Amino acid sequence: MKSRRILAVLLILCLGTGLVHAATTINISSFANQTWCPDFGNCSTLPFGKQTYNGIPFLIPGNANGTADNVWWANVAAGGGSSTVSITIPVNVAKVKTVYTLMNTTDGSTESGLLSITFTGSGGATWTVDPIGNINIRDYNNGSYTDSIACHLPGIAGSFATINAWTNGADGQRLDEQIYELPSSFKGQTLVSVTITDSGAPGVQRSFIAALTVSTALP
């Protein structure tokens, strides 16, 4: 019982309290360019459709038999090469306070500058974060390249953290949830878009996103 209470306290610290006033799942299916199969393995165990992780709703593209694309994968966007690629996902939700993503990489790296995420507001506010392997992002295979994530205590404007969302246990795959608390400069603005820029390369680090959810500021 004591260990459960400790875990509950840690989760509250990482997630904050009263996070979701009104959650909106963003449909990214039109951007998906890769199925879970065959690259991700154990296709039948991987999630799709409406899911809830850590109390947050998500909408993951795809279907049960792996015939529809599930993720936007930077490696596919780059044609398997080493060029920088990006995707801009329209959001257009007013008064967003918190953004949630389901993201991992296929090859892990602790090198900085391989990945950036930029949030753009209707009134000119912008915020860019740079997830780094073994801190804010890790590969999708448990026990493979990068296995650590650190809680950076969201709830403070302009902060972000990563926690685990889903795992298929002994099969060894996972999806992690990133939590971004937008800076105060976004107050009163509409979150227009989220842009993911990937500067990795095959065998170094390539990211993929499976879902995006936003929640509005408390009135």
Class of domain 2-216: mainly beta
Distance CA 76, CA 82 (A): 11
Q: How sure is the predictor about 147, in pLDDT bands with cuts at 50, 70 and 90?
A: confident
Residues 6+ apart with CB under 8 A from 219: 21
- pLDDT for the residue 151: 65
pLDDT above 90: residue 188: yes
pLDDT above 80: residue 47: yes
Distance CA 72, CA 166 (A): 18
Burial 170-179 (b: 16+ CB within 10 A, else e): eeebbbbbbb
**Domains of the chain by residue range:** 2-216
Q: Strand, helix or coil at 133?
A: strand
Q: How sure is the predictor about 5, in pLDDT bands with cuts at 50, 70 and 90?
A: very low
Q: Report, in angstroms and rounded to the nearest whole number, the Rg of the chain calculated over CA atoms.
A: 16
Residues 6+ apart with CB under 8 A from 216: 21, 22, 24, 93, 94, 95, 96, 97
**Token couple for 176:** 């992690």
